[in-house]
Amino acid sequence: MNSIELRRALHRNPELSFQEHDTQRLIIEALEAEGISYRKIANTGVLAKIEGERGNLRRAVVLRADIDALPIKELNNVEYCSVREGVMHACGHDMHTAILFGVLQAMNRKRDFEGTLFGLFQPGEELNPGGAVKVLEEHPFEGYDVAAVIGEHVDATLEVGEIGICPGQFMASNDELRFYISGRGGHAARRSTIDDSVSAMADMILRSTALNTAECVLSIGRVIADGATNVIPEKVYAEGTMRTFDKELRERTHSYLHNNARSISEKYNVKAEVDISYGYPCVVNDVMLAYEAMIVASDEGITVRELKPMTTAEDFGHYTEVYPSLFYRLGVGSMAGGSHTATFLPDERAIEIGERMMQRMALHVLNK
């Protein structure tokens, strides 16, 4: 099986986070056909290992691909369209998985490198707190000197043949926010007998979204107030997301949201609560690895775009907190459409570019 065949098999059979049983089976079958050593990890993931022919085998590079799909009904008209109703590889993780397999396939056939190469097929990237946490809980690289963890993500804002790299702070942390308001409900015309839970929630939302800056993004995407034209509900619920690039700012904003809830409670005579679910940490690229990757890409004839920090989030950030790491964007062409949409369809020509970039970067680090 080649990488394009694997990609199409995965695309046809997408699975949601931590449900990637068939995906795991497909990956294992592909690895076994190549004689590549592996073990299962984080329940539905796979960790492959290839030892080089020379050098210190305790020195290691980890290549990571996420393998889960999204709860989206695919609307593409291709022969390998998803056969799972309401599930689709709408974020390109099938591309990531295929690229990693292609790199392992090539490096296993010619082990002319130093050290040990790990290929991490990670489950559950799309679901907080992320599969990276489960991977790290198993301490899979204990006893190894991990020189780099390297990952990528497809990007339709870049054309095929381009990669995007951001040295240092790259992607934001993400937290899930849930707001609860409860009070006396009742007839909307009898103001003296009710606590206006709807106005209280509106005030809470406006105070929260007023915190938006270039360094802090806070958005509310869902509000439930199950009343009527003349009914104020007892309970109102809202949820959203918060993204920051700075740990101190993250904590200060959390404190503000909790203080704001207390203020709302007093102002509207309601019970206001905020539940904050910690998500992924920031993705912070090792600066030296980032600039070395730019040189490697240029030597391979791949066009490099230096990117600015992004407010999107990735559980790859957990690896960047532990090991020197590099996460970059792989161009799949503007015709691919938007990720997380029902018609997202990356250009498969990007697979060869992705394999070449990831393999050359792995060899560059291992053979230093």
Picking from 17, 254, 257, the residue whose alpha carbon sits closest to that of residue 129 is: 17
**What's residue 347's pLDDT?**
98
What is the percentage of the chain residues whose pLDDT exceeds 70? 100
**What's residue 299's pLDDT?**
96
Rounded average pLDDT over 208-236? 96
Tens of pLDDT, residue by residue over 73-121, are 999 999 999 999 999 999 999 999 999 999 999 999 999 999 999 999 9
Tens of pLDDT, residue by residue over 141-199, are 999 999 999 999 999 999 999 999 999 999 999 999 999 999 999 999 999 999 999 99
**What's residue 256's pLDDT?**
97
pLDDT category of residue 129 using cuts at 50, 70 and 90: confident
CATH of 173-278 among 1.10.260.40, 1.10.10.10, 3.30.300.30, 3.30.70.360: 3.30.70.360
Name the residue ranges covered by the structural domains of the chain. Answer: 3-171+282-366, 173-278
Task: Name the β-bridge partners of 163.
Answer: 304, 330
pLDDT category of residue 320 using cuts at 50, 70 and 90: very high
**What's residue 247's pLDDT?**
87
Rounded average pLDDT over 23-48? 98
Same fold, 3-171+282-366 and 173-278: no
Q: Which CATH architecture has domain 3-171+282-366?
A: 3-Layer(aba) Sandwich (3.40)
Rounded average pLDDT over 275-285? 95
Q: Which long-range contacts (CB under 8 A, 24 or more apart) does 105-111 make?
A: 105/2, 105/3, 105/34, 105/36, 106/355, 106/359, 107/50, 107/359, 107/362, 107/363, 108/34, 108/35, 108/36, 108/50, 109/34, 111/50, 111/51, 111/52, 111/53
**What's residue 68's pLDDT?**
98
**What's residue 65's pLDDT?**
98
Q: Pairing state of beta strands 45-51 and 235-244?
A: unpaired
